[in-house]
Amino acid sequence: MKRREFVTGITLAAGVSACSEDHADTKEPITNINEVFEWNMATSWPPHLPGLGVGADNLAKNIEKASNGRLKIKVYAGGEIVPPLEVFDAVSQGTVQMGHDSSYYHRGKLPAAPYFTTVPFGLNVNEMNAWLYFGGGLELWQKCYKPFDLVPFPVGNTGVQMLGWFNREINTIDDIVGLKIRMPGLGGEIMQRAGAIQVTMAGSEIFTSLQTGAIDAAEWVGPYNDVSLGLHKAARYYYYPGFHEPGPNIECIINQGAWDSLPLDLQQILTIACQSANLNMTSEYMWGNAVALEQLSNDPNIEIKQIPQAVFNELRLHADNAIADLTQKDETSREIEESISSFIKKSSANQNITELAYLKMRIGSLKH
Instruction: Give the other-Cβ count within 10 Å of 263's Cβ.
Output: 19
Distance from the Cα of residue 47 to its chain's centroid: 17
How large a percentage of the chain has pLDDT more than 90?
88
pLDDT band at 367 (very low <50, low <70, confident <90, very high): confident
Strands 98-101 and 180-182: unpaired
Q: How many Å from the N-terminal Cα to the C-terminal Cα in the chain?
A: 85
Domains of the chain: 37-156+247-286 (3.40.190.170), 161-244+302-329 (3.40.190.10)
One-letter identity of residue 346: K
Is the per-residue pLDDT at 14 higher than 50?
A: no
pLDDT band per the 50, 70, 90 thresholds, residue 368: low
Q: Which of the four pLDDT bands, split at 50, 70 and 90, describes residue 138?
A: very high
Distance CA 270, CA 264 (A): 10
pLDDT of residue 184: 86
Taking only Cα atoms into account, the Rg of the chain, rounded to an integer number of angstroms, comes to 24
Does position 17 have pLDDT exceeding 90, yes or no? Answer: no
- For the cut 60, the answer to whether the pLDDT of residue 23 exceeds it is no
Tell me the C-alpha to C-alpha distance, in Å, between residue 28 and each of 20, 22, 31, 127, 241. Answer: 10, 8, 9, 35, 49
- Closest by Cα among 11, 85, 54 to 224: 54
pTM of the model: 0.87
pLDDT on residue 27: 47
Model pLDDT for residues 150-160, shown as the tens digit of each residue: 999 999 999 99
Q: What letter does residue 28 receive in the DSSP assignment?
A: P
DSSP E strands: which ranges in the chain?
A: 37-43, 71-76, 98-101, 150-157, 164-166, 180-182, 197-199, 217-218, 237-240, 249-255, 303-306
**180 exposure class (CB count in 10 Å sphere: 0-12, 13-18, 19+):** middle
Contact 70, 37 (CB under 8 A): yes
